[in-house]
Structure 1
Amino acid sequence: MSVTLAELAKRFQGKVRGNPDTRIESVAMLETAGPHDIAYVSDRKYLELLPKTAAGAVILTETDADHFSGNVLLVENPHLCFARVASLLHPLPAFKPGIHATAVVSPKARVAGTSWIGPYSVIESEAVIKDGVWVGPGCYVGAHVLIASRTRLFAHVAVYDRCTIGEDCLIHSGVVIGSDGFGYSKDNERWQKVPQLGRAIIGNLVEIGANTTVDRGTLKDTVIGDGVKLDNQIQIAHNVQIGENTAIAACVGIAGSTVIGRRCTVGGQAGIVGHIEIADDVHVTAGSLVTNSIAQAGVYSASLKAEPVEKWRRNAARLHHLDEIARRLGKLEDKLQQLSKEQKN
């Protein structure tokens, strides 16, 4: 695909400084861009690369534009504009509808004529595949599953029975939607499984990264709201609810029955315990452990930085005596208060 700089400015509410007829075919980094590429700068530490770039155009703010003598697409948010330009110039590949000869599709499933079912995929009874859906190789779509229009399942995605996936979703390889939640009741020395009878409900415009798992609910549903973005290797337990437009980075674990609000972000390797609620617009930093509900918007962190092992061992040894030290300190405070009263008297 090829567009002019003027067309990009019109489409993405920008202004052109330079030649509006410059043709742009691709996006690239400043260091590797050529005359038909467009790059961007959103962090000022990269401004020093501008004099050396061969990019056909660069997306910049008005403030930073003076650092570059070439063609510029002026916008308020270069990173957002770059994302939109990249999506325009590099769309998902088109596909020819149909059902591959090796796919196994139940005669009771309903597959739209505009969709594609890839090699060795299985579509079970009463499953509904809407218009423009792309099901990659080796996927499993269980009975009574609904996959809404224009959603794509990459290779080896498993969607268990009765779950639903909304419109315009991207589900990457290895994702499992609707597996049983971790539900057991103690029976003396043994564990009795609690049947997981709910569903996993995925909203519209959701992206789920590779090898992420979304468990089904125990009785009520696990719900992922519209616009949620999930990175790779995330564990979402049964009955969890995640609000619209929340983004969660890789290797996060969310325990059962937790409710996360809208527009939240959770950094990589964070852990969130079960049965708590997190308000809208909460941002949890990477590696944090959230053990209590968060009622107000803001940035929250609960992690210890890495230190030389000798220092860490000394601090860890002292932590074992923290309760004793607290008791002793309490006694000293009581004595000080008593001395203060005696002096006043």
Structure 2
Amino acid sequence: MTVTLAELARRFQAKVQGDEGVIIEGVASLQTAGPRDIAYVSDRKYLPQLVDTKAGAVILAEADITRYAGSALIVANPHLCFAQVADLLHPTPGFTPGVHPTAVVSPAAKVAVTAWIGPHSVVEAGAMIGEGAYIGPGCHIGAKASIGEKTRLMAHVVIGERCVIGNKCLFKPGAVIGSEGFGFAKDGERWQKVPQIGRVLIGNEVEVGANTTIDRGSLGDTVIGDGVKLDNLIQIAHNVRIGENTAMAACSGIAGSAVVGKRCTIGGQAGINGHIELADDVHITACSLVTSSITKPGVYSSSIKAEPAEKWRRNAARLYHLDEVVRRLAKLEERLQQHSEEQKN
């Protein structure tokens, strides 16, 4: 697709600096952009790169327009505008509806005539595939599962039985929705499996990354709200509830029955303990471990940064004596308090 800078400004409520007739065909970084590409700056530390960019145009905030003499789109949120332009210029490929000859679709399944069932996919009895849905190669849709309108499953996605997927969702390769949760009861020295008989309910416009797993509920349901975005390699355990428009980065995980509020962000490799709650608008930084409920919005961290091994070993050894040090300090404070009172008398 080819557009002019003026057309982009009209579509995305931007102002134009420079030549409105600049032709834009693609998006790129400041370093790699050519004369028919548009780049962006959302972090001011990258402003010095504007001097050498070959981009046909750049998306900038109004506060930064004096740093660039070339053609530009001026917007309040350059990163958002860049995403919108990229989506316009690189739309999701279309498809021809139908069922591939190698797909296996139960006669008891209901598949919309505008949907596509790809090669070697399986759709079991009672499943419902909505209008405009795309089921990619090697996917498995369990019995009585429901896939909403315009939802896309890329390759080898598994949707378990009775799970419900909303409209306009995207599931990347290898995602598994509705696998059995990790439920076992102790029986002496062995473990007795606890059947996981709930479902996974996923709202509209949810994105699930590659090889991410969302377990079905043990008795109730695991619930993922509208607009949630999950990165690759995430584990969501049984009966977890995630509020609308929350985003989680790669390799993070949530243990069973935890509740995460709306508009939260969970950094990469962060862990959230089971049976706790996070309020709306809570932001957990990368590699943090959350072991108790958080009741107020804000940014929370629990990471310990890497240190040279010799220094870390010394500090770790001192941690073993921390209780003793605290007791000694308390005694010293008590003595100082007594001494201060004696001096006053």
- For normalisation by structure 1, the TM-score amounts to 0.96
Indicate whether 1:203 and 2:203 are aligned: yes
For residue 184 of structure 1, what is the amino acid of its counterpart? F
Instruction: Look up the match of 1:230.
Output: 230
Instruction: Look up the match of 1:56.
Output: 56
Q: Distance in 2 between matches of 1:145 and 1:202?
A: 12
Pairwise CA distance, 1:4: 1.6
Indicate whether 1:35 and 2:35 are aligned: yes
Give structure 2 stretches of 5+ with no counterpart. none
Q: Secondary structure at the match of 1:64?
A: helix
Pairwise CA distance, 1:197: 1.2
Q: Distance in 2 between matches of 1:241 and 1:268?
A: 19
Q: Secondary structure at the match of 2:256?
A: coil
- Residues 33-182 of structure 1 correspond to what in structure 2 (within 5 A)? 33-182=33-182
After superposition, the C-alpha distances for 1:148-174 in whole angstroms (9 at most, x for unaligned) are 011111101111100011111110011
Q: Give me the identity figure in percent.
A: 68
Instruction: Look up the match of 2:258.
Output: 258
Q: Distance in 2 between matches of 1:31 and 1:316?
A: 44
Indicate whether 1:330 and 2:323 are aligned: no
Q: Distance in 2 between matches of 1:338 and 1:93?
A: 78
Q: Distance in 1 between matches of 2:121 and 2:14?
A: 44
After superposition, the C-alpha distances for 1:201-229 in whole angstroms (9 at most, x for unaligned) are 11111111111100011111111111111
Pairwise CA distance, 1:342: 5.9
Q: Distance in 1 between matches of 2:4 and 2:20?
A: 7
Pair 330,52 (structure 1): closer, same or farther in 2 beyond 3 Å:
closer
- Residues 251-290 of structure 1 correspond to what in structure 2 (within 5 A)? 251-290=251-290
Q: Secondary structure at the match of 2:201?
A: strand
Give structure 1 stretches of 5+ with no counterpart. none
Pair 67,336 (structure 1): closer, same or farther in 2 beyond 3 Å:
closer
Indicate whether 1:187 and 2:187 are aligned: yes
Q: Distance in 1 between matches of 2:144 and 2:321?
A: 57
Pairwise CA distance, 1:344: 6.0
Pairwise CA distance, 1:337: 4.7
After superposition, the C-alpha distances for 1:273-298 in whole angstroms (9 at most, x for unaligned) are 01100001111100101011000000
Q: Secondary structure at the match of 2:16?
A: strand
Q: Secondary structure at the match of 1:201?
A: strand
Indicate whether 1:304 and 2:311 are aligned: no
Pairwise CA distance, 1:3: 1.5
For residue 242 of structure 1, what is the amino acid of its counterpart? I
Q: Secondary structure at the match of 2:178?
A: strand
Q: Distance in 1 between matches of 2:130 and 2:241?
A: 25
Q: Distance in 1 between matches of 2:330 and 2:63?
A: 57
Pairwise CA distance, 1:21: 2.3
**Structure 1 residues 181-190 or 30-39, which shifts more?**
30-39
Pairwise CA distance, 1:240: 0.5
For residue 24 of structure 1, what is the amino acid of its counterpart? I
Taking only aligned residues, the RMSD between alpha carbons, in angstroms, comes to: 1.4
Q: Distance in 2 between matches of 1:318 and 1:32?
A: 50
Pairwise CA distance, 1:84: 0.4
Q: Secondary structure at the match of 1:195?
A: coil
**Structure 1 residues 156-165 or 328-337, which shifts more?**
328-337
For residue 250 of structure 1, what is the amino acid of its counterpart? A
For residue 321 of structure 1, what is the amino acid of its counterpart? H
Pair 342,34 (structure 1): closer, same or farther in 2 beyond 3 Å:
closer
Pairwise CA distance, 1:343: 5.9
Pairwise CA distance, 1:183: 1.0
Q: Distance in 2 between matches of 1:219 and 1:320?
A: 42
Q: Distance in 1 between matches of 2:194 and 2:175?
A: 23
Q: Secondary structure at the match of 2:63?
A: coil
Pairwise CA distance, 1:47: 1.8
For residue 310 of structure 2, what is the amino acid of its counterpart? E
Q: Secondary structure at the match of 2:46?
A: helix
For residue 95 of structure 1, what is the amino acid of its counterpart? F
Q: Distance in 1 between matches of 2:334 and 2:64?
A: 61
Indicate whether 1:245 and 2:245 are aligned: yes
Q: Secondary structure at the match of 1:63?
A: helix
Pairwise CA distance, 1:108: 0.5
Q: Distance in 1 between matches of 2:143 and 2:82?
A: 40
Q: Distance in 1 between matches of 2:156 and 2:109?
A: 19
Q: Distance in 1 between matches of 2:165 and 2:157?
A: 12
For residue 48 of structure 1, what is the amino acid of its counterpart? P
Q: Distance in 1 between matches of 2:180 and 2:264?
A: 26
Pairwise CA distance, 1:181: 0.9
For residue 106 of structure 1, what is the amino acid of its counterpart? S
Q: Distance in 1 between matches of 2:184 and 2:215?
A: 14
Q: Distance in 2 between matches of 1:166 and 1:86?
A: 25
Indicate whether 1:16 and 2:16 are aligned: yes
Indicate whether 1:294 and 2:311 are aligned: no
- For normalisation by structure 2, the TM-score amounts to 0.96
After superposition, the C-alpha distances for 1:245-279 in whole angstroms (9 at most, x for unaligned) are 11110100110110000111111011110110000
